[in-house]
Amino acid sequence: MPFSRRQFLQASAAVSASALWTPRLFAAGEVLPGERPVRDPRVVVENPQLRVPLSFIIDDSTCLVNLAHFAIPQFAQVYPENYKQDWRKLPREIPDSFVRKFSEWCHERGIKGKYSIVPFPACVGRIDRELPGWTRAEQEASLQLVRDIIVPDWDIHPEMVTHTWIIDPKTGHPHPERTPKFMENFRWADGRSVDEIAEYMAYALKILKNVGLPCEGITTPGGFGNRVLPELSQATFQAVRDVHGAEIPHYFRHLFTDNTSVAPRVEYASGLNTEHPNCVVSIVGCTGDWFGGWDGLEPGQTGQFISMDGKDGRLPEVIQRGEPTILVCHWPGLYYNGEEVGFNIFKEVVARLHANYDNLLWMKNSEIARYWAARELTSSKREESSVTWQAPYACPQFTVRIKEIAVPRNQKISYHRGDQSQAFTPVERDRDLKPGTYWWEGADLVACFSLARGSSRLEWGR
């Protein structure tokens, strides 16, 4: 069943209302990469610490409100045939006790990713004002929990404003029209300009800012923006930079479960040699929601992610390629109306990953975005015993391979910026690489360091 569903998703070019995340696979319009610097072919930027980045994307989470319960009857107004779930039997709340349990379990295992906070979930109430159905104290406690235990390991994204009806930013109320054109998931963004989309995104981003939640990126609800991909990308940059001052805004809109690359896409890069470099990064998921569905009614399967022996399934396939392996789920499906079906699948997936691989590195979406921006936008110039970098962005864990260096191995490897310098220490195995260390693989020098913004230099043999 999950397989045929996936095939259906790949084949689906039109906006389908059958699932919130279905239309992510639609691609249209031309998104531009922008500038690229000169890079020396004898210098390769590798994955951070030579590991494969992993990240967990959680959609449709917010404070207390079970989005599925409230959204289904609203979706059904537009597409009655596609939303026949008995939403009344879904709980109206996903409790904070589950948020705590989940995030503590993840924190103990070093798991990182993205956690949505839908700012005005299904028009129930704004998280920065009143959340009808809960007391002020419950609402405050829920926000505090997010600040304390989610923010350290997870990026916070809005998923537009309501994830259901479009609101009028001038009044703060939903538009009266009940058509796909006035639903965030469906057709509102069609034909709109960068500025119009950015204004709408800014409304969502400000609500998160009002409650002290930092934000470097956006998640698109369902089919939002899939006919205006260039505008979506640029609007993300504009809104996230304006409202939250993020240096490298990013967004989650695409996921692929076929052979399409799932490497992040660094878009609209400009001003690389100025004090104000710009770019926006598209973070790409590599799985469908095979946990518990977006509504918490469709149980997934561990084996579709990874088999018991760690050899088969979608995750080993992407890990083999060395591309960031970014899993996608929905919060109501993890909770699964209290049965925690999705969470239990996730636990087993993590157990299998950690048992079978020792080269994985959990990262937030923003950390992956930064790494890929630095990887693609840092210029390198190799000379006899040095490489000079010109970096628009700083990057911790920057890991490079300098090919075929012919020097005795006991010579000094060091990093220089201005009048500061740092000597690196050697490690015995690639797995031990961390910032400030290096490793020889044959004649190649692999060095890991915290790349400084601006000009800097790696030296060897002197």
Q: What is the binding site for Zn ion (CB under 5 A)?
A: 59-60, 159, 221
Q: Cβ closer to Zn ion: 116 or 142?
A: 116
Residue nearest to Zn ion (CB): 59
CB of 181 to Zn ion, least distance (A): 19
Residue nearer to Zn ion on the CB measure, 23 or 221: 221
* CB-nearer residue toward Zn ion: 67 or 373: 67
Question: Toward Zn ion, which CB reaches closer, 59 or 231?
Answer: 59
Nearer to Zn ion, 328 or 433 (CB): 328
Which is closer to Zn ion, CB of 346 or CB of 449?
Answer: 346
**In terms of CB distance, is 221 or 342 closer to Zn ion?**
221
Separation CA 188–CA 99 (nearest Å): 32
Comparison of 19 and 451: residue with beta carbon closer to Zn ion: 19
Beta strands 379-383 and 265-270 are: unpaired
Give me the least distance between CB of 376 and Zn ion, in Å please.
28
Of 53 and 285, which CB lies nearer to Zn ion in the complex structure?
Answer: 285
| Cβ-based nearer residue to Zn ion, 46 or 295 | 295
Question: Distance between CA 328 and CA 286 in Å, rounded?
Answer: 7
Nearer to Zn ion, 295 or 323 (CB): 295
Residue of 220, 186, 192 whose CA lies nearest to 76? 186
Q: How far is the CB of 99 from Zn ion (least distance, A)?
A: 17
State the nearest-atom distance from the C-beta of 294 to Zn ion, in Å: 7
Beta carbon of residue 220, minimum distance to Zn ion (angstroms, whole number) = 8
Closest CB 219 distance from Zn ion, rounded Å? 7
Three-class SS string for the chain?
CHHHHHHHHHHCCCCCCCCCCHHHHCCCCCCCCECCCCCCCCEEECCHHHCEEEEEEEECCCCCECHHHHHHHHHHHHCCCCCCCCHHHCCCECCHHHHHHHHHHHHHCCCCEEEECCCCHHHCCCCCCCCCCCCHHHHHHHHHHHHHHHCCCEEEECCCCCCCECECCCCCCECCCCCHHHECCCCCCCCCCHHHHHHHHHHHHHHHHHCCCCCCEEECCCCCCCCCHHHHHHHHHHHHHHHHCCCCCEEEEEECCCCCCCCCEEEEEECCCCCCCEEEEEEEECCCCCCCCCCCCCCCCHHHHCCCCCCCCHHHHHHHHCCCEEEEEEHHHHHHHHCCHHHHHHHHHHHHHHHHCCCEEECCHHHHHHHHHHHHHCEEEEECCEEEEEECCCEEEEEEEECCCCCCCCCCEEEEECCEEEECEECCCHHHCCCCEEEEECCEEEEEEEECCEEEEEEECC
Contacts of 362 (CB under 8 A, 6+ apart): 53, 54, 55, 56, 110, 111, 112, 113
Q: How far is the CB of 306 from Zn ion (least distance, A)?
A: 24
Nearest-approach distance from CB 20 to Zn ion, in angstroms = 5
CB environment 227-240: b (16+ within 10 A), e (fewer): bbbbbbbbbbbbbb
Give the residue carrying structure tokens 């001052």. Answer: 245
Report in angstroms how near the CB of residue 200 gets to Zn ion at its nearest: 16
Query: What's the min distance (Å) between Cβ of 65 and Zn ion?
Result: 13
Amino acid sitting at position 260 = T
Find the shortest distance in angstroms from Cβ 60 to Zn ion. 4
